[in-house]
Chain A
Amino acid sequence: MNTLNHVELRQVVEIVSVDHSPISSKLTEMGLVAGQLITTLFRAPFGDPIAIELNGTVLSLRLEEAQFIEVKA
C-alpha cells in the first residue's frame, strides 16, 4: 500500500485509511478521512514537511505524520 510520504508532487490521490497513525483522530478532524481526495502541492526545502490541498485549504504535515496515511491513485 502506498503512503502519502511517497507520493510525487502535483498528484491527486484518494485516502484509504489513517487508522495506523498515532494522531488518527486529529487527522480525521482535519478532514483527512477515507475516500477524501487530496492533492500534493509542494515540499519545504529539504523535502519535509509537505503541503497538501483538500477541499480548497492547504495543510502542511511532516513526513513522519504522512507515512501513516495510506493512499491510492
Chain B
Amino acid sequence: MKIALLGNPNTGKSSVFNLLTGLRQQVGNFPGVTVDKRSGFIQINQVQHELIDFPGTYSIYPRSKEETVVFDVLSDTKHSQHPDQIIFVVDASNLQRNLLFFTQVFDLGIPCVLVLNMWDLAQKKGITISIEALEKLFPGVPIVQSNARVGLGKDRILKAIDSTKVKDLTFKPFLDSFHLCEIEDVQCQKLEAENRLQKIKTSLTKVVETKVLEGENFSRKIDRILIHPVFGYLIFALVLMVIFQFIFSFANAPMNWIDNLFSHFSIWSSDLIPEGMVNDLISQGIIPGIGGVVVFVPQIAMLFFFISILEESGYLSRVVFIMDRLMRPFGLNGKSVVPLMSSVACAIPGIMATRTISNWKERLITILVAPFMSCSARIPVYTLLISLVIPKMYLFGFINLQGIVLFGLYSLGIVFALLVSFLLKLFIKQKEKGFLLLELPDYKNPRWGNVFINVLEKVKIFILDAGKIILAISIILWFLASFGPDMDGAAHGLSKTRAYQSMSKQEQTIAMDACKLSNSYIGILGKGMEPIIAPLGYDWKIGISLITSFAAREVFVGSLATIYAVQDDGGKQTLLIDRMRNEVKADGSPVFTLASGVSLMVFYVFAMQCMATMAVVKRETNSWKWPLIQLAFMGVLAYFTAWLTFIILS
C-alpha cells in the first residue's frame, strides 16, 4: 500500500516522517520536477507499506510550478504515486488554517488518518481540542494526537493506519457538492477556500476552546532583538562568522584524511593489480575520482548541519524576513541569502540549499550566480598567486597589501554575483510572479535526530546523484592527462638525455611526470590554446593547469608543480613559488608578473572551474541546459575580465 504524508509547512511533518520510518529512508525527485521525494517503509502487522513525504503546502492548489506535484498526484487516481491512504499532519495549535488543506484531501475520498501534532504546544498556548467532537466532523477518519518532536505517537499513528477502512458508500464530502477547481482557475479556488474557511470556523466552535493567556509570547520577545534593524543584522553576521569559523577549522582535517586515504588506496591498488592499462585506470582514474567526490562530504555535512539547525529553530525564516528587501532589486529573494552565503565555503551545498526557494526564476538565478562567491577551493590558488606577485607591503604602515588583494577578490565575486543576478532578472522570463507570504514559526529547540537525518540525506544525494557525473568527468580528465599521440616517444627521448641520466631516481620520476603531462592530450590542448590565452598573459603551462583544474580549482597548484617538475615540499610550496618566479617566456621576460598573476586570480574568481558544481547544477535543474549555459557565460566573463585586468596592469 502507498501512504502519502501531507500537511502544511511548519507542522512537524518531517518529524512525523522520521518518527515513522527512522533511518530507512530514500530520497529522490518526484517525476518531472525538482521537488525532494522522501520515501520510506513502515511495517504494520508484518505488512510493508511505502510512506511518501510530500512537500508541505497550504492547499491542494499549487503556489508554484514545483508544488503542482501535490495536485497532480492527488487529483489523478491513475498517477504512479497516487496514494491508497493519507496521513495528514496538522499543527494542533492552529487547527483552523491547517484544516483547509485537510478538508480538500478528505473530500477526495481517499482514506485518511488525521494527526494532531505539536499537542504539547497547543496546550501551552491554552488551546484544548475535543477529539470526539472533531471525529464527528470527519466520520471514518481516525484522529490521533502526537508530539513527534519528542518521539510520541508512533504506535498510535500505526494503529490508526491499520484501522482505516476503505471509504464506505455513506461517505459525504465536508463541502457540499464539492468538485476540484481547474489548476489555473484561481477565482474558483478562492471561492472554495472562502467556503471551506467559513464552514471550518463554524464547525470548530464545538471543537476548540482557547483560553487567552496573559503576557507576551516568548517568540515575539526574541523577535524584537533578532529582527531589530541594527542587532538583527549584527546577529546574523555573527551567526555566519561562527559557522564559517567552524567549517574552516574543522572541515580541513577530515578532508586531508580523505585525501590521504584515497592516495593510499591508489598506491595499494597499483601494487596489487598487474601493471598496465587496467592498473592505471583504477589506481589513477577511478580511485582518485571517487576520492574527488568523497572529499566534499565534510563541507556539505557541516554546512547542512548548521543550515538544518537554523531551519529547525525557526531562525532561518527570520533571516529571510530581514534580507528579503535587500535581495529583491537583484531578482533574488530573502531565501537566496543562505545558499549564497554557504557558497563562500562551497557552492555545492549552497546550490543544494536552494530547494527552499519556491519561485523557479529566483531559484534558478540563485543557482546560476552561487559559484561567483569565492569558495574555499579557490583559497590555495589565491594564496599561491598572491605570495608570488603581490609584494609583502603595508599601505599607510598597517594595511597588509596581500590581505587587501584577497579581500578584493572575495568582494569582486560578491559584487558580480549581484550584478549578474540583476541582468539575469531581465533576461529570464517567467509568468508566475514571486511572492513571499511566509510563515514565521515559533522558535523551537532543534531536534538533533531531524538535523542528523537531514545531513545524511544531503550527503547521500550528493554522492549518489552528483557523484556519478563527477566520477565520469574525472575519468575523462585522467584519460586526457595520461595518454597522448606520442607520449612514449617523448618519454623515450627524455630518458636518453644526459641531463636525465645524471639525475637521482626521485628527480627522474618528477621530470618524467612533467614530460608525460606536457605530451598528453591535455598538454597538446594546453599548447594549442596558447594563442587564445596569450592575451591574458598566460603560457601553455598555465593553459594545461587551467584544463586540469576543471576537476577542482585547487588542482591548479598541483598541476603547476607537476609541469614545473617541482618536488612536493609538504604544502609549503616555497619550491614551487621559487620555480614560478624564475619562469621566463621565449623573450626572457618573466611569465608571472603583477599583471598576469592578478589576471589569473581574476580568471579564477569568475570561471566555472569545478565539475562537481556543474554536476550539482545538473541535478538541481534537472537538465544539462543550465550547467552548460553557466559554464559558457562564466567562462566568457572570466576571459574578458582577466584580459582587461592584464591590459590595465601591464
Contacts and interface: CB of A to CB of B under 8 A. Distances in A.
Contact of A28 (B94, B194, B228): B194
A55 B96 contact: yes
Nearest to B60: A29
Interface in B431-461: 433, 435-441
Contacts of B317: 60
B37 interface: no
Contact of B190 (A24, A46, A56, A58): A24
Interface in B44-63: 58-59, 61, 63
Interface in A22-62: 22-31, 33, 41-42, 44-49, 51, 55-62
A65 B324 CA distance: 13
Contacts of B154: none
A31 B437 contact: no
Interface residues of B, number: 41
Contact of A57 (B94, B227, B233, B321): B94
A58 B435 CA distance: 16
Contacts of A22: 433
A1 B284 CA distance: 73
Contact of B437 (A56, A57, A58, A61): A61
Contacts of A59: 437-440
Contacts, number: 105
A51 B441 CA distance: 12
B284 to A, nearest CB: 53
Residue among B61, B193, B229, B441 with the highest chain A CB neighbour number at 10 A: B193
Contact of A26 (B63, B93, B97, B440): B63
Nearest to A22: B433
Contact of B435 (A26, A29, A47): A26
Residue among B93, B189, B219, B440 with the highest chain A CB neighbour number at 10 A: B440
A62 B436 contact: yes
A31 B96 contact: yes
A62 B435 contact: yes
B156 interface: no
B197 A44 contact: no
A49 to B, nearest CB: 6
Contacts of B324: 44, 48-49, 62
Given A22-B433, A24-B190, A31-B96, A58 B440 contact: yes
Given A30-B58, A56-B125, A57-B97, A45 B439 contact: no
Contacts of B186: 24-25
A19 B648 CA distance: 58
A73 B220 CA distance: 23
Nearest to A65: B435
Contacts of A61: 435-438
Given A46-B326, A60-B440, A65-B436, A29 B58 contact: yes
B417 interface: no
A31 B200 CA distance: 11
A45 B227 CA distance: 7
B643 to A, nearest CB: 38
A51 B229 CA distance: 14
Contacts of A58: 219, 439-441
Interface of A: 22-31, 33, 41-42, 44-49, 51, 55-62, 65
Instruction: Enumerate the 10 nearest inter-chain pairs by beta-carbon distance, A residue then B residue, closest first.
Output: A45-B229, A25-B190, A28-B193, A58-B440, A25-B186, A25-B189, A29-B59, A46-B325, A31-B97, A48-B325
